[in-house]
Each structure stands twice: as C-alpha cells, then as structure tokens.
C-alpha cells in the first residue's frame, strides 16, 4: 500500500479507537506505533519476569457506546459489572469503604450526607455526560449542529432546575477542599471522594480551578465513576480494541516510530501528506491523525516552521508536567492490609486532605513528596494471569512526583521516592517489605521516555478549565482538526481529555467522517 486514507500515529487506546472507526467506515487505515506492542499507557508491561502490570491500572468510564459500536464483546471485552470498592485506608484499620452507592466506616451524619452529595453529583455528571462524546464547537461557530451542541449543553444545565443549576454553577470550579468540607466531617471520606478530582493533575485540594469538573468527567457514563478492572485487565481492553481495529481492516505496525509528519506547501497553503518513520521510510496518506500529545505532535513531528507564531506559543505554554509516579511491586503472596480481608478494592492512602496538600507543596517546589499519597490496586487479584500462581502484582499511582525534579532525576532519586512509597504502604501493610520480589518505580520522566508522552502527563496536558472543552488543547485545534489541513489530533490532549475512555479517538473519527 503506498497511499492510505488515514495514517494514525500512536496505538494507544485512542489511536486504536479512531483507527477502528475510520476503518469501519471503509477507509484504508495505517496505525503506526513506536513501541513493540499496542496500548500506550494502557499497554501490558512485564516489569519482572512473569509479573505484568500496566501504567493505567483501572477503568472508570470507558464508553459503552464505543464498546458497542466496535463490537468489543466479540473480541473478549465485557463492560465490567463488578466495580471496585474505593477504600480509604486508615492506619488504625478502621477503613472507609465506598461501594455501590453506599459508604461504610463513617458516622451516620456523613453516611446521610453522602447520599445527598451523590444524588447531586450524579445529576451534574449526567447533565455533562453527553458532551464527552461530542466535538465542542468553536466559539463563534454558527453551524446548525454546533449551535445545537451549545444549546443542548445549556438546556441540560437548565434542566437541572433552578436550585441545582445554581449549585452546579457554584461548585463547578470549586477547590476539592471546599466541596468536601461543606459536605463531610470524616477526613478519610473527604480524601477518598476528593481523590478523583486530583489524580493526574497538578492540583491539590486547595487549588482553585477544575477539580470538581474533573470529578464530574470521571463520573460520566453508566459506571457512575466507580473503577473496575475488566476481565483480562486494562490490557484485555486494549487487546479487544486491537482486534476490532484489525478486523475492520486497519493495518497496525509496531516498532514504527514516526519521526516527522510530512507537510507540503502549495498555493492554498500547507497540507499534511504523510509521515516519515525513524528509519527514513515515507508513507503517504490523505490525512494524518496523531494521538501523540499536542506538544510532541506540533513540535517534534510537525515543526514550528509550519505553524503560526501565536498558535505555536499557545501549544508551547500548555502545561504538561506530570506529577504522578508509578510503583509496581512483584509480591510473593497477596498483600495483607491491616483491617482488610482482601485487597481487591482501589485503596487510597491519604489520611486527610492536608496530607495531600502538603504532599503537593513539596512537589510544587520541585521536590518529591516527603509523605506521598497514593492509590493502590492489586490487579492480579482480578486477573490471575498477571503473576505466577499465588504471587501478586501491586500497582500504585503515587502523588506527587514532579516531572522536573530539582537537580534532575537520578537513579538515587528514583530509588529514594520508590522507597518512600513502599515505606508508606508498610504503614498499612506491615508485612509488605518481606513480600517484595522486585519493585519498579517510574517517574514522570521515565513515563515520558518509555511512552513518548511529554512530561509523562496522565492527560497528555493538564485538565484545567483553561485547557478544557473548546480550549483543549487550544483553540484552532480543539475540534480535532488543526491549522495544518489534513492533520488531526485524537489523543488525550484533545477534548474531553485523558483516562481510558476512548472519547477523544471516537470524536476525532466522527469529525473526520463528518
């Protein structure tokens, strides 16, 4: 094949989703992935012989529409029915457990307040839900369908009723801290519920901006924000996406890093005509769709000489520094957390909101948190194939680990933060050190190097009000098209953002097929 309809850069889950949709529509699609396997941050990672994890370790709002459209069930993926309990670990073993719309381990008052809180957040999340699977029109667009989208958004918010609408407007950009303090007394309940507003962003409980919106984003869809590990793990989902894309006719090449997006100039201006691979090979296409992050796409692959100066500067100032580190432990048995029968939930270590705030303060000034906070799952309890028999994998997202560490990252610095994370876990699972066969810690700088994501950022670029909706990643590239005709974006740096949702890939494909 010497000419494709679409070349997609990056076979992360968004690239796969976009490829599958485009191929299904009849396009000749080539998907080029730098790594030797598909999946991006969701791909399987053997971090010790026989022990597998993935950077993204649970799924909270993967779109069931996409799962249906792409017939993922025929490729082995089932929308998980059994969601993980979210467990706020307490050093005294009196944990706070949120599961199936109820909370345990807190006083009556908090338990009741949680019901009202949940009702309201669900209503808000529902009002926003339809927009994660839609292109957000550019401001000033007068196209009918664009106006409908705006109208629909307005209407949905209006439909909340006066009281809830006002409340929505009030809380949408509230710091997590205020929302939690207003509703609850129990410290661990506050950190457990607030966690999803913070993880992945450069935000702490007291940061104003977008934590509540991020929370609502994650509550979208039928899973209501609960997390799950699908059968076969995150990698199982990736595998189903891969098979679906291939079955629809998309061609996938691994170990095929794109080094340049080919751009030709003509009387009408520039147009993307294909890509050049690291080995020099050129492949031509009618369009190029990049799931690499916006900075990498525009600066490493396109080149500023093909972009306007103002646009370049807006991409340049995107905030892309990741603050989440990844800890993988290979264990010789199931971890034993005091007060927990089985560590099969999503466990949060953050004794109070101030603990998160202080952990953030260190990172804000370029240091690793002295007392890190984290989220832990044990994927091998859900998918036995991930570790040898009776052995286990512990996977933790550790905050806050700055991409730009003061003095730069060294092996010693990596070991130190990894150790501190293990030390923190040991406060809740005293036996853990004795169980460790092997450990690996990935800093955001490591994630950048291994996964090709600028800053090692969870969402490719910060999820904050100024980088959301029709401003994600920035205007003139927020509708998946870019100022370079024939070049599209389809990754987490586009609306609606990161996590394993498939939304950006879906929306980009719809935009291309429109």
Ligand X SMILES: Cc1cc2nc3c(=O)[nH]c(=O)nc-3n(C[C@H](O)[C@H](O)[C@H](O)COP(=O)(O)OP(=O)(O)OC[C@H]3O[C@@H](n4cnc5c(N)ncnc54)[C@H](O)[C@@H]3O)c2cc1C
Binding residue (CB under 8 A) for another protein from 149, 312, 461, 501: 312
Kindly tell me which residue out of 59, 106, 285, 329 binds ligand X, with binding defined by CB under 6 A. 59
Footprint of another protein on residues 229-268 (CB under 8 A)? 265, 267-268
Rounded least distance, CB 100 to another protein, Å? 51
Contact map string, positions 456 to 485, toward another protein, x by CB under 8 A? --------------------x------x--
Contact window for ligand X (CB under 6 A) among 36-44, 98-106, 427-435, 474-482: 36-44
Pick one of 308, 419, 423, 466: the residue that binds another protein (CB under 8 A).
Answer: 308
CB of 388 to ligand X, least distance (A): 23
Which pair of structure tokens corresponds to residue 106?
Answer: 């807190």
**Residue 442, helix vs strand vs coil:** strand
Looking at 45, 118, 202, 326, which residue binds ligand X (CB under 6 A)?
A: 326
d(CA 462, CA 464): 6
For residue 385, is the peptide bond before it cis, meaning its omega torsion is within 30 degrees of 0? no
Q: Shortest gap between Cβ of 475 and another protein (angstroms)? A: 10
| Number of residues located near another protein, criterion CB under 8 A | 20
Closest CA to 480 of 513, 442, 432: 513
81 within 8 A of 226, measured Cβ to Cβ = no
The DSSP letter of residue 86 is E
SS (H, E, C) 266-319: ECCEEEEEEEEECCCCEEEEEEEEECCCHHHHHHHHHCHHHCCHHHHHHHHCCC
Phi, psi dihedrals of residue 286, rounded to the nearest 5°: -75, -25
Q: What DSSP character marks residue 391?
A: -
Report if residue 418 touches ligand X, rule: CB under 6 A: no
472 binds ligand X (CB under 6 A): no
Question: With 0-12 CB in 10 A as exposed, 13-18 as middle and 19+ as buried, what is 163?
Answer: exposed
Q: Least distance in Å: CB of 265 to another protein?
A: 6
Residues 201 and 321: their CA atoms lie apart, in Å, by 9
Q: Is 473 in the site for ligand X (CB under 6 A)?
A: no
Contacts of residues 46-50 at CB distance under 8 Å and 24 or more positions apart, as own/partner, are: 47/328, 47/330, 47/438, 47/440, 48/328, 48/330, 48/437, 48/438, 48/440, 50/330, 50/387, 50/388, 50/391
- Tell whether residue 121 is a contact of ligand X (CB under 6 A): no
Which residue of 19, 34, 113, 445 would you call a contact of ligand X, by CB under 6 A? 34
Residue 457, both tokens? 């950022």
483 interacts with, out of another protein, ligand X, none, CB within 5 to 8 A per kind: another protein
135 binds ligand X (CB under 6 A): no
CB nearest ligand X: which residue?
A: 12
Q: Is residue 342 within 8 Å of residue 189, measured between CB atoms?
A: no
Find the shortest distance in angstroms from Cβ 437 to ligand X.
22
Binding ligand X (rule: CB under 6 A), the pick from 106, 413, 500, 509 is 500
Beta bridge partners of 63: none
> Which segment (192-200, 239-247, 284-292, 310-318) binds another protein by CB under 8 A?
310-318
Q: Give φ, ψ of 235 to 5 degrees.
A: -60, -30
Site for ligand X in 228-247 (CB under 6 A): none
Q: Which residues bind another protein (CB under 8 A)?
A: 265, 267-270, 299, 303-313, 316, 476, 483
Residues that bind ligand X (CB under 6 A): 9-15, 32-35, 40-42, 55-60, 257-258, 291-292, 296, 301, 322, 324, 326, 397, 447, 451-453, 456, 458-459, 491-492, 498-500, 504
């Amino acid at each position: 094949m010497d000419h494709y309809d679409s070349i997609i850069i990056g076979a992360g889950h968004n690239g796969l989703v976009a490829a599958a949709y485009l191929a299904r529509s009849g396009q000749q699609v080539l998907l080029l992935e730098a790594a030797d396997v598909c999946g991006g941050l969701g791909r399987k990672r053997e971090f010790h012989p026989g022990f597998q994890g993935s950077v993204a370790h649970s799924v909270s709002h993967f779109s069931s529409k996409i799962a249906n459209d792409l017939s993922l069930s025929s490729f082995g993926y089932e929308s998980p029915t059994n969601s993980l309990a979210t467990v706020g670990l307490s050093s005294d073993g009196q944990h706070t457990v949120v599961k199936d719309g109820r909370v345990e381990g807190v006083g009556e008052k908090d338990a009741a307040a949680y019901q009202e809180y949940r009702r309201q957040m669900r209503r808000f999340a529902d009002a926003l839900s339809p927009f994660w699977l839609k292109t957000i029109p550019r401001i000033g667009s007068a196209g009918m369908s664009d106006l409908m989208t705006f109208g629909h958004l307005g209407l949905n918010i209006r439909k909340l009723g006066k009281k809830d609408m006002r409340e929505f407007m009030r809380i949408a950009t509230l710091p997590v801290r205020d929302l939690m303090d207003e509703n609850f007394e129990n410290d661990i309940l506050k950190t457990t519920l607030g966690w999803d507003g913070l993880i992945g962003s450069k935000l702490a409980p007291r940061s104003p901006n977008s934590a509540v919106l991020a929370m609502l984003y994650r509550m979208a869809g039928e899973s209501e924000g609960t997390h799950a590990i699908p059968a076969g793990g995150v990698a199982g989902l990736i595998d189903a996406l891969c098979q679906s894309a291939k079955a629809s006719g998309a061609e996938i090449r691994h170990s095929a890093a794109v080094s340049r997006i080919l751009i030709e100039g003509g009387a009408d201006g520039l147009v993307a005509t294909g890509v050049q691979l690291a080995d020099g090979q050129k492949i031509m296409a009618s369009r190029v769709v990049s799931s690499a992050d916006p900075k990498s796409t525009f600066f490493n692959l396109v080149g500023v000489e093909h972009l306007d100066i103002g646009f370049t500067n807006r991409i340049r100032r995107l905030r892309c520094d990741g603050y989440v580190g990844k800890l993988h432990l290979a264990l010789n048995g199931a971890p034993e957390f005091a007060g927990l029968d089985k560590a099969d939930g999503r466990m949060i270590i953050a004794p109070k909101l101030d603990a998160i705030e202080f952990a953030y303060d260190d990172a804000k000034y370029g240091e690793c948190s002295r007392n890190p906070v984290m989220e832990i799952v044990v994927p091998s309890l859900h998918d036995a194939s991930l570790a040898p028999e009776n052995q286990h994998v512990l996977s933790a997202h550790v905050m806050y680990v700055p991409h730009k560490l003061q003095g730069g990252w060294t092996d010693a610095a990596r070991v130190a933060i990894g150790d501190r994370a293990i030390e923190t876990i040991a406060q809740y699972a005293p036996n853990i050190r004795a169980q460790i066969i092997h450990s690996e810690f990935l800093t955001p700088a490591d994630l950048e190097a291994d996964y090709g994501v600028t800053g090692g950022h969870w969402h490719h670029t910060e999820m904050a009000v100024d980088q959301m909706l029709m401003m994600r990643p920035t205007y003139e590239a927020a509708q998946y098209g870019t100022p370079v005709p024939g070049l599209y974006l389809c990754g987490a740096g586009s609306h609606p953002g990161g996590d394993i949702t498939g939304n950006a890939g879906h929306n980009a494909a719809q935009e291309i097929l429109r």
